[in-house]
Structure 1
Amino acid sequence: MTDHTTDEPRSAAASLFDLRTVIAVLFGAYGVILTLLGAFGTSAEDLAKAGGVHLNLWTGIGMLVVAALFVTWQRLRPTVTG
């Protein structure tokens, strides 16, 4: 019988269903959509409503940064299973 409590790599399922991964994927997906919408789909009317600020673009970039922070957090401090 072998002891599987030390130096065992994390299972793919544990990594995939880590809450930080789910949050990072959601922030990343919405961030990409908003960034593309802000970069290519902003009209002059939209800019006038927002006071000349590309809100979708900046919000999308912010969401991508948050997604990157969650991925970094998960890589640096993995969950301990077992």
Structure 2
Amino acid sequence: MSEHYSERDLQREITELETKSATAARLFDIRRIIGGLFVVYGVIVTIAGFTASDADIDKAQGVNINLWTGLGMLILGLLFLLWLKLRPTAPPPPDVLPDEREE
């Protein structure tokens, strides 16, 4: 038995899919991914900087490069996440179905 969709059913289904797509786009916002990765790697590199030996610091001409790089990565990652929090992705405007227009 074949199912016949009315124009209204088709529009409703399209609207639902657009809403789900917008939710997925906000969930996988590139700022969240980049910020999260920089924070995770920043923590790892910062820990490596705190546990650096004197020989490692001497190789870098007296600079604890892991510590400074890790802190920089942490700051950058937190800035990305702050940007995401302050300027979230705007939801798409609701579409009016042709049969539901107000006159």
Instruction: Measure the CA separation in 1 of the matches of 2:44 and 2:23.
Output: 27
Cα deviation for residue 14 of structure 1 reads 3.8
Give 1:35's aligned amino acid.
Answer: T
Specify the SS of the correspondent of 2:61. coil
Q: SS at 2:47's partner residue?
A: helix
What residue ranges of structure 1 are gaps of 5+ in the alignment?
1-10
Code of the residue aligned with 1:17 in structure 2: it is F
Paired residue for 2:87? 77
Query: Which residue of 1 is the match for residue 62 of structure 2?
Result: 52
After TM superposition, the score normalised by the length of structure 2 is 0.63
RMSD value, Cα: 1.9
Count how many residue pairs are aligned between Structure 1 and Structure 2: 73
1:44 CA displacement:
1.5
Larger Rg: 2
Measured in 1, the distance between the counterparts of 2:32 and 2:71 equals 18
Q: TM-score, length-normalised on structure 1? A: 0.78
Unaligned runs of 5+ in 2: 1-21, 93-103
1:80 shift after superposition = 1.4
Per-residue deviation at 1:12?
6.2
Deviation digits for residues 8-44 of structure 1 (CA, Å, limit 9, x no counterpart): xxx764443110000001100110000001002x112
Q: Please, which of 36, 46, 51 is the counterpart of residue 25 of structure 1?
A: 36
Q: Percent identity?
A: 51
